[in-house]
Structure 1
Amino acid sequence: MSRLLGRPLAALTLVAALGLAGCTGPLPTPAPVETTEPSASATDTPSSAPTTPAAPALIPGGSAAENLPFFTTVVDGVWSGPNQVAGRAYIDALTAAGFDKAAMQVTADQTTVDNPAESIEFSVRIGDQCLVGQVGPSIGNPVTAVLPGLSSGGCLIGQTRAIDW
């Protein structure tokens, strides 16, 4: 399959997978976000040093949505290295980052005719939701999302490989 046809096909596959994953029930309504305006007083002085936002970190016991920024950071780190389409590299990096290996799934790196996969998916189940990543030459940049978990207990539809290392 040519790369020109592979990208739209991969995108359609991801959309279909996302749509099917949504068949398990309605998504929860996000809680309203409360914002407060900082109070200004005569004694407040502006900081001379600009503040930089903290790097995303794992939030143990946090929701999938709360951990998505960190999951994305880990995925981007692997993608920028030499093992861009190696499922084990993503599982190992996510495990090293503190995610539960027993809650993970990953698809095969090779097709049934032993060609490199055009894309691979991997996931971490957190409660009733999943952090899902997709990478590969047909995808472009990595894609990460929070999706509802499957009623079967997993996150990915179709054949996955054993994480036995």
Structure 2
Amino acid sequence: MVAYGDRDAELVMGEVPVARQRVTLAAVVVAMSLMLSGCVAPTEMPRPTTSSSRTASPTPTPTVAPERVEGGTAGQNRPYVEYVMARLISVSPQMTSLEIADTLVAAGFDRAALQVTDHATRVGSRADSILFSILIDGQCLLGQVADGAVTTSVGDVLGTGKCLVGRTVSLD
């Protein structure tokens, strides 16, 4: 009678133990990896070169400031508004609502087309953000000033004929 686990019995029956199959497979994988790694051509590391002549660094191309598009859409004037507001933020990071309105009017927009939320809360604290809008030819150019940056988008006019919902400041 042949006992299970007897090595000779397993060989006689033509079966290879699972543990031996795993070891053989691992050995084949390692051998193939070693053979394939020898097929890769060695690469040389680039060596720094020294030069006695100096090369001039490229001159930065001046950026052209966007301009207001007279008679243009809200989308066409969006880059200009972002530019104007970014300049305001750089000189007055804690601007008031009226400063935003005055800046946009000075940039060529009609005061009657503007809406701006208050820079202060009802309890007198500084608002986290100030929203503004410009009604341009049936579209709303919407903006938000928060954390020293301006974000803009273009949206539809509300059923009220305005762009912003809620309390806005008087711009008169």
1:158: which partner in 2?
166
1:99: which partner in 2?
109
Cα 1:77–1:155 shift into 2, 3 Å: same
Aligned residues: 114
Contact 1:108–1:117 (CA under 8 A) maintained in structure 2 = yes
For the residues of structure 2 that align with 1:104 and 1:50, how far apart are their CA atoms?
A: 36
Question: What secondary structure, in the 3-state scheme, does the structure 1 residue paired with 2:88 have?
Answer: helix
**Aligned pair 1:113/2:132, yes or no?**
no
Could you tell me which runs of 5 or more consecutive residues in structure 1 were left unpaired when the two chains were aligned.
1-48
For the residues of structure 2 that align with 1:52 and 1:83, how far apart are their CA atoms?
A: 25
CA displacement at 1:53 relative to structure 2: 5.7
Cα 1:50–1:80 shift into 2, 3 Å: closer
| C-alpha RMSD of the superposition | 2.0
Contact 1:106–1:123 (CA under 8 A) maintained in structure 2 = yes
2:87: which partner in 1?
77
1:60 to 36, 59, 70: 70
Contact 2:97–2:169 (CA under 8 A) maintained in structure 1 = no
Structure 1 length-normalised TM: 0.63
CA displacement at 1:144 relative to structure 2: 1.1
Question: What secondary structure, in the 3-state scheme, does the structure 1 residue paired with 2:149 have?
Answer: coil
Question: What secondary structure, in the 3-state scheme, does the structure 2 residue paired with 1:80 have?
Answer: helix
Amino acid at match of 2:68: L
Amino acid at match of 1:112: R
CA displacement at 1:163 relative to structure 2: 0.6
1:20: which partner in 2?
none
Q: Percent of aligned pairs with the same residue?
A: 42
Question: What secondary structure, in the 3-state scheme, does the structure 2 residue paired with 1:142 have?
Answer: strand
CA displacement at 1:51 relative to structure 2: 7.1
Q: Deviations over 1:73-109 (max 9, x none)?
A: 0111111112534111111111001011110001111
1:130: which partner in 2?
140
For the residues of structure 2 that align with 1:50 and 1:82, how far apart are their CA atoms?
A: 27
For the residues of structure 1 that align with 2:94 and 2:104, how far apart are their CA atoms?
A: 14
Question: What secondary structure, in the 3-state scheme, does the structure 1 residue paired with 2:140 have?
Answer: strand
**Aligned pair 1:145/2:150, yes or no?**
no
For the residues of structure 1 that align with 2:108 and 2:78, how far apart are their CA atoms?
A: 13
Q: Which has the higher contact order (CA 8 A, sep 6+)?
A: 1
For the residues of structure 2 that align with 1:159 and 1:73, how far apart are their CA atoms?
A: 26
Could you tell me which runs of 5 or more consecutive residues in structure 2 were left unpaired when the two chains were aligned.
1-58
CA displacement at 1:150 relative to structure 2: 1.1
